[in-house]
Chain A
Amino acid sequence: MSSEWPLWEIFIRGQHGLNHRHVGSLHAPDAEMAVKHARDVYTRRNEGVSIWVVPSNAITASSPSDKGPLFEPSNAKVYRHPTFFDIPDEVGKM
């Protein structure tokens, strides 16, 4: 359907203090309607206190075919995980 409304990515902040999280996407003619639709589609069960909508085509994504070069090199670099330090007892629980 070429006459379909543009796609929007929806982010909802659940409770104060938490980040907005991506919850899904929907179609709407403009940003204002996208917020209304998001309210109706994604906050029916009291899920949110704030809504962000972003046009899907404004998102630049990494390419799945680049997965190897992008992510695999970090597999072999255990020293990047901060697990080689002895934490002094007086620091307590981290």
Chain B
Amino acid sequence: MSVALDLDLALFEGLCRLGDSTLVLGHRVSEWCGHAPVLEEDIALANVALDLIGQTQMWLGLAGEAEGKGRDADALAFRRDVWDFRNLLLVERPNGDFGQTLMRQFLFDAWHQPMLKALEASSDPRIAAIAAKAGREVAYHLERSADLVIRLGDGTAESHARMQSALDRLWPYTGEMMMSDDTDRALAEAGIMPAPDSIRPQWDALVAEVLSEATLKAPDQRFMHKGGKQGTHSEHLGHMLATMQWLQRAYPDATW
């Protein structure tokens, strides 16, 4: 295989990593629709979910173009199996309680925002344009999730305990966001996407600041799960996709 072909493949993979992460998190957050603790949070969560699904359409749409096999965003979202998904393991974690959902959102937003900022400088103008548009939405996601993590962490004994437990559960899934493999290195060398570990200083600083204000303590744990970006997922993703994909699987190309 020539170098050019390798880079095309890396581009497709890299775009699927972004688009699948926003898709899976968007679907997870949408599972709250009609179930959130209060009406106002229900609507706020649905807004975040819709933002993420909108970003998915752009990332997976571009991934389909980069692949050049005629697959569009819908085909990629609804007709791939679990091992073809390239999302981060963090975003496929089940919602748990409201605290776990918010903590997952914050840990992701704290990566997502600087990641999009860096993507705005991509050598590929299509990627830079998507990142700029998504960045405005994600700046609000981060403001909201950080604010709520602080309020609930530094809230009642009950809310503090729930937020600390959410942090302990989710922490081992955060390392994957900043880990590099050959795909990441190829994309970073071509200036298409930032090296994942270049996001680390901003993520560390932001998370440390918010957790300290929230009176929460990051676990003293070094082990980090990985594999989502390469298609090795937890059992939770398959269940989620079964719900998400059944209609397009049962009635391919169904329209209203």
Contact = CB atoms under 8 A, between A and B. Distances in A.
Nearest to A40: B44
A41 B41 CA distance: 9
Contact of B40 (A27, A32, A44): A27
Interface string A1-37: 0000100000000000000000000111100110011
A37 B38 CA distance: 11
Contacts of B151: 29
Given A5-B38, A27-B40, A41-B40, 14 more contacts: A27-B38, A32-B147, A33-B147, A36-B44, A36-B144, A36-B147, A37-B44, A39-B140, A40-B40, A40-B43, A40-B44, A40-B47, A41-B44, A44-B43
10 contacts: A5-B38, A26-B40, A28-B40, A29-B151, A33-B147, A36-B147, A37-B43, A40-B43, A41-B40, A41-B43
A53 B11 CA distance: 46
B151 to A, nearest CB: 8
B186 to A, nearest CB: 39
The winner among B39, B40, B44 for most chain A CB atoms within 10 A is: B40
Interface residues of B, number: 10
Contacts, number: 26
A44 B54 CA distance: 14
A72 B38 CA distance: 42
A39 B143 CA distance: 13
Contacts of A40: 40, 43-44, 47
B106 to A, nearest CB: 15
Contacts of B47: 40, 44
Interface in B90-125: none
A27 B40 CA distance: 7
Nearest to A39: B140
Contacts of B147: 32-33, 36
A9 B144 CA distance: 21
| Chain B CB within 10 Å, residue with most, of A5, A37, A40, A41 | A40
Contacts of B44: 36-37, 40-41
Nearest to B46: A40
* Highest count of chain B CB atoms <10 Å: which of A27, A36, A44: A36
A33 B155 CA distance: 15
Contacts of A44: 43, 47
